[in-house]
Structure 1
Amino acid sequence: MLFHRFNISHPRSPRWAVGAALALAAALGLTAPAAQAAQGLDLALTAGNGKYHVHKYGLVLGWTRPDPLWQGTQWRLMLRHEGELAQWRVPDAPNVLELGYSPVLRFERPLAGSGTVFFLEGSIGVRLLSRTRVAGHELSTAFQFSDQLGLGWQWGEQGRHTLGLRLQHLSNASIKVPNPGMNFWQLVYRYRF
Structure 2
Amino acid sequence: MRPLSSQPPLLCAAVLAGLLGASAPAAAEGLDLALTTAVGSADHVRKHGIVLGWTRPRPLWQGEQWRLMLRHEAELAAWSVPRARDLVELGYSPVLRLERPLSGGTSVFFVEGSIGARLLSHTRVSAERRLSTAFQFADMLGLGWQWGRHGHSTLGLRLQHISNLGIKRPNPGIEFVQVYYRYRF
Q: Is the TM value for this pair above 0.5?
A: yes
Equivalence for 1:7: 2
Does residue 47 of the first structure (1) align with residue 37 of the second (2)?
Answer: yes
Secondary structure in structure 2 of the residue aligned to 1:30: helix
Separation in 2, partners of 1:72, 1:114: 15
Equivalence for 2:84: 93
Q: Is the 8 A contact 1:138 1:178 kept in 2?
A: no
TM-score by length of 2: 0.89
Deviations 1:77-107 (A, max 9, x none): 0000000000110112110100000000000
Letter in structure 1 aligned against 2:166: S
Equivalence for 1:130: 121
Matches within 5 A, 1:1-193: 7-8=2-3, 22=15, 25-26=17-18, 28-36=20-28, 39-50=29-40, 51-113=42-104, 115-135=106-126, 136-193=128-185
Give every structure 1 segment of 4 or more consecutive aligned residues whose post-TM-superposition deviation is greater than 6 Å. none
Separation in 2, partners of 1:27, 1:129: 17
Deviations 1:98-146 (A, max 9, x none): 0000000000000131511000000000000011111121111000000
TM-score by length of 1: 0.86
Secondary structure in structure 1 of the residue aligned to 2:57: coil
Letter in structure 2 aligned against 1:180: P
Q: Is the 8 A contact 1:45 1:189 kept in 2?
A: yes
Q: Is the 8 A contact 1:56 1:88 kept in 2?
A: yes
- Residue 187 of structure 1 and its aligned partner are, at CA, apart by 0.4
More displaced 10-residue stretch of structure 1: 113-122 or 27-36? 27-36
Letter in structure 2 aligned against 1:32: A
Secondary structure in structure 1 of the residue aligned to 2:20: helix
Separation in 2, partners of 1:141, 1:119: 33
| CA RMSD of superposed structures (Å) | 2.1
- Residue 32 of structure 1 and its aligned partner are, at CA, apart by 2.6
Name structure 1 gaps, 5 residues minimum: 1-5
Secondary structure in structure 2 of the residue aligned to 1:34: coil
**Alignment size in residue pairs:** 177
Percent identity between the two aligned chains: 67
Secondary structure in structure 2 of the residue aligned to 1:98: strand
Q: Is the 8 A contact 2:83 2:125 kept in 1?
A: no
